[in-house]
Amino acid sequence: MILDNYMGGADAGVPPTTEPARQYYFMERAADLIRKKSEEAGRPLTFCVQTFGCQMNARDSEKLRGILERIGFVKGADESADFVLYNTCTVRENANLKVYGRLGALRRKKRENPNGIIALCGCMMQEKEVVLKLKKSYPFVDLVFGTHNVYQLAELLVRTLESDQMVVDVPDATKGAIVEDLPTDRKYSFKSGVNIMYGCNNFCSYCIVPYVRGRERSRAPEEILGEIRRLAREGVCEVMLLGQNVNSYGKGLDQEIDFARLLSMVAEVPGIERVRFMTSHPKDLSDDLIRVMASYPNICRHLHLPLQSGSTRVLNAMNRRYTKDSYLALTDRIRQAMPDISLTTDLIVGFPGETEEDFEETLDVVRRVEYDSAFTFIYSKRTGTPAAAMENQIPDDVVHKRFSRLLTLVQEIGRERTARFTGQVKDVLVESVNEQNRDLVTGRIMENAVVHFPGSASLIGKIVPVRLDVCRGFYYLGTPEF
């Protein structure tokens, strides 16, 4: 679906200097070039955007797809498409390795397709060493851009089509403009991510995100609410507010506003039946936020609250700015206000200097908090971060042993905790037809657990009551109660 709310024209011969008008101008120019190419080829040109990384990247990819559709590309099935774009992540080394591996395979495909264009964008491109490596070892890549000029895709594509060399345009991550109101192609018709802020100021010592995404910038509340009202009018009933740390929303804006206030305003938008948000940093999750969550029935009873480590000593070295005790006190307050809430988390194993005692503190918090689920990560050294220069990097074999102990515990506890709704009837937002069994549909309850139950595609996007009969680990099998 294309959301197009731009009212101006773009027929002048000179590119406008203001945004988003400039990008609409380039979309028309790119459309002309692509039309000619597809006439020559005797078929429409196709595109494929692959997303690596987090929800923020997934949302950027929707914007990129919206622009490509507007230009006249049609969706291709896979990487055999004419225009292949990788929206990359660099949070862990593995993410980078995956991209290089996939690029190797693309090189062969490109030789066979005279219309083939390969483009790379996203967090990994913000690293200078990566761009150098691409220039040296992957010269068949046509276009490289960063996290801050996603909105310029049309302009960059025109430059690429008019050049016979690799076009590289990666603006400094610290100087980000916010340009909205461009076409977007949403993955789901009934739910959508909404950026409320960009960047991160926290500089956790292991993390590369602040370097590649730049400083925190909040969008004005009226813009966010305008976007959500528009989405609601188009039939969206669930929004996920996105930011690296939504709890610091509003800092730096002219008006006095914080995340709790914004969340309550979003929850009051007519038609929005579910509000989620991602991610909350435990250091500044306010009691106001807990109150707002508890008092609006359409704010989902789910909080993703990354712990990273249960050891106060390690947390300190990570620059997380909370302690084991303050984290536990916070989760107690949250559970007191909303006893059924699902808590999920991120955990890192093998941070430099992590001792067996430190690791056991992590296990202890997992046992005490009883997370519904957790993402567990092996510490990955990111060049340029303070932790990369720390002594006492932990040997791989020690880390792997700890990792599998943690995973076992997380799964055991998650399984028990998730089962708490067995036998109850709960509202399920249906998201898709089940891939393994086409007689079932799949959806989520407010608390985020997945439910499969008998139904057909006509239920997609609807919220329906379902009895949760059995819990199989991390999902339920249910029966419709309607």
- 206 counts as binding ligand SAH under rule CB under 6 A: yes
- 59 counts as binding ligand SAH under rule CB under 6 A: no
Interaction with ligand SF4 in 200-259: which residues (CB under 6 A)?
200, 202-204, 207, 209-210, 244-245
Are 57 and 123 within 8 A, CB to CB?
Answer: yes
List the x/- string, 17-46, binding to ligand SAH by CB under 6 A: ------------------------------
- 203 contact, one of ligand F3S, ligand SAH, ligand SF4, none, CB 5-8 Å limit per kind: ligand SF4
Q: How far is the CB of 427 from ligand SAH (least distance, A)?
A: 28
Q: Which stretch binds ligand F3S (CB under 6 A): 26-34, 50-58, 108-116, 150-158?
A: 50-58
Of 27, 85, 89, 260, the residue at the interface with ligand F3S (CB under 6 A) is 89
Interaction with ligand SF4 in 117-156: which residues (CB under 6 A)?
none
List the x/- string, 92-131, binding to ligand F3S by CB under 6 A: -------------------------------x--------
- 57 counts as binding ligand F3S under rule CB under 6 A: yes
Of 23, 88, 308, 448, the residue at the interface with ligand SAH (CB under 6 A) is 308
Closer CB to ligand SAH, 159 or 405, in the complex: 405
Q: How many CA atoms lie within 13 A of 424 on its CB side?
A: 12
CA quadruple 470, 474, 480, 482: dihedral positive or negative?
positive
Interaction with ligand SAH in 423-442: which residues (CB under 6 A)?
none
Are 175 and 214 within 8 A, CB to CB?
Answer: yes
- 53 counts as binding ligand F3S under rule CB under 6 A: yes
- 379 contact, one of ligand SF4, ligand SAH, ligand F3S, none, CB 5-8 Å limit per kind: ligand SAH
Closer CB to ligand SF4, 57 or 244, in the complex: 244
- 89 contact, one of ligand SAH, ligand F3S, ligand SF4, none, CB 5-8 Å limit per kind: ligand F3S
Size of site (CB under 6 A) for ligand F3S? 11
Q: How far apart are CA 78 and CA 159, in angstroms?
A: 25
Q: Per the structure block, which two tokens stand in for 330? A: 């916070």
List the x/- string, 327-366, binding to ligand SF4 by CB under 6 A: ----------------------------------------
- 210 contact, one of ligand SAH, ligand SF4, ligand F3S, none, CB 5-8 Å limit per kind: ligand SF4
Closer CB to ligand SAH, 192 or 380, in the complex: 380
Q: How far apart are CA 77 and CA 72, in angstroms?
A: 16
- 379 counts as binding ligand SAH under rule CB under 6 A: yes
- 348 counts as binding ligand SAH under rule CB under 6 A: yes
> How many other C-beta atoms are found inside a 10 Å radius of the C-beta of residue 269?
15
Of 213, 217, 219, 320, the residue at the interface with ligand F3S (CB under 6 A) is 213
Q: How far is the CB of 354 from ligand SAH (least distance, A)?
A: 12
Closer CB to ligand SAH, 199 or 221, in the complex: 199
- 140 contact, one of ligand SAH, ligand SF4, ligand F3S, none, CB 5-8 Å limit per kind: none
- 199 counts as binding ligand F3S under rule CB under 6 A: no
- 210 counts as binding ligand SAH under rule CB under 6 A: no
Are 125 and 170 within 8 A, CB to CB?
Answer: yes
Interaction with ligand SF4 in 253-292: which residues (CB under 6 A)?
281
Q: Which residues bind ligand SAH (CB under 6 A)?
A: 91-92, 206-207, 209, 244-245, 279, 281, 306, 308, 346, 348, 377, 379-380, 382
